[in-house]
Amino acid sequence: MKIDDLKYAQRERVIFLDRCLTWRGAANRRDLMERFQISSAQAAIDFRTYLQLAPVPPEYDAVRKAYIARTNHQSLMPPSLTSDFEVLEDAEDVKDGSASVPRPFRQADAAIVARLYDVMRTGKAVHVRYTSLTTGVDEGQWLVPVRFTSDGENVHLRAFSFKHNAYREYLPIRFSPKSSFDERQLESALPLDEEWRTRARIFLTPNAALSSEQAAVVRKEYGFSGEFLVVVVRQALEFYLKRRWRLEEKNTRLQIVKTEYDVWPEGGI
């Protein structure tokens, strides 16, 4: 049996157990019962399932009435403290979310997004009005939507702009509902999206201004496995990576050693 063989609900519970044992070092039935509002019997079934799947099964501590991770514990799933943070939150903090800095609530008009998706699906151009924070609102332009992308915080629409004669990223929230949304067939094929077809391999190292001790901490924090940390992203999204990782700020923890560009392999990397 593999974890992917489980039904979704039980898979989530088993992963939660694995995260508890990874980050807390212990887990019991009540952890499951309180988190997922399930019965003690179901929690027992989930524990038995986890014990069958665990690379290194935990041992039961009768005094603590909990399973304790062994010193050579191995996670079922790749551990990430950021995404697994929920298992370390205090129960009261979970209820009100007060232990986490809230993310901006990204609003968007679902009808506009659906309209853009439909235009993208049919391969047409659409006439829209867009508000740029640099140049303000335009009087309307023709775009050809080609795909939706994400920088981890915002969803963008990548589209070919006839106004700029280039592929650009647009935030759906900034399309005006007063746009005509007129559609038209393309008279000729679009140019190749070279930035999307290009792979950027960015080689990173701790900032040279850091002490050896500080550099060692940064290497551990970012998961270095060799001299460099190599991050791969499409060239079209390279700007967002640099901005989110603060790679071009004065006191950045990481600095770019070099960037290599080549064609993004068919079917991904």
Distance CA 229, CA 205 (A): 6
How does pLDDT run across 15-53, given as a tens digit for each residue? 999 999 998 899 999 999 988 999 999 999 999 999 999
* Three-state SS letters, 119-180: HHHHCCEEEECEEECCCEECCCEEEEEEEEEECCCCEEEEEEECCCCEEEEECHHHECCCCC
* Mean pLDDT estimate for the chain: 90
How does pLDDT run across 53-88, given as a tens digit for each residue? 999 999 999 999 999 999 999 999 888 777 777 777
Q: What's the CA dihedral at 141, 170, 143, 194 to 10 degrees?
A: 130
* pTM of the entire predicted model: 0.73
Kindly state the helix (H) or strand (E) to which residue 229 belongs, with its residue range: strand 229-234
Question: Is the pLDDT assigned to residue 99 strictly greater than 80?
Answer: no
Distance CA 89, CA 91 (A): 6
Average the pLDDT over each of 50-59, 128-137, 257-266 and give the range with the smallest value.
128-137
Rounded to 5°, the CA angle 242-245-248 comes to: 50
Kindly state the helix (H) or strand (E) to which residue 231 belongs, with its residue range: strand 229-234
How does pLDDT run across 145-203, given as a tens digit for each residue? 999 999 888 899 999 999 999 999 999 999 999 999 999 999 999 999 999 999 999 99
Contact (Cβ atoms closer than 8 angstroms) between residue 117 and residue 111: no
> Amino acid identity of 74?
Q
Collect all residues with Cβ–Cβ distance below 8 Å to 210 and sequence separation of at least 6. Answer: 218, 253
Pick 136 or 25 by higher pLDDT. Answer: 25
| Residue 165 C-alpha from the chain's centroid | 30
Contact (Cβ atoms closer than 8 angstroms) between residue 240 and residue 253: no
Question: Is the pLDDT assigned to residue 269 strictly greater than 50?
Answer: no
Q: Across residues 212-237, what is the average pLDDT?
A: 95
* Three-state SS letters, 67-104: EECCCCCCCCCCCCCCCCHHHHCCHHHHHHCCCCCCCC
Contact (Cβ atoms closer than 8 angstroms) between residue 137 and residue 127: no
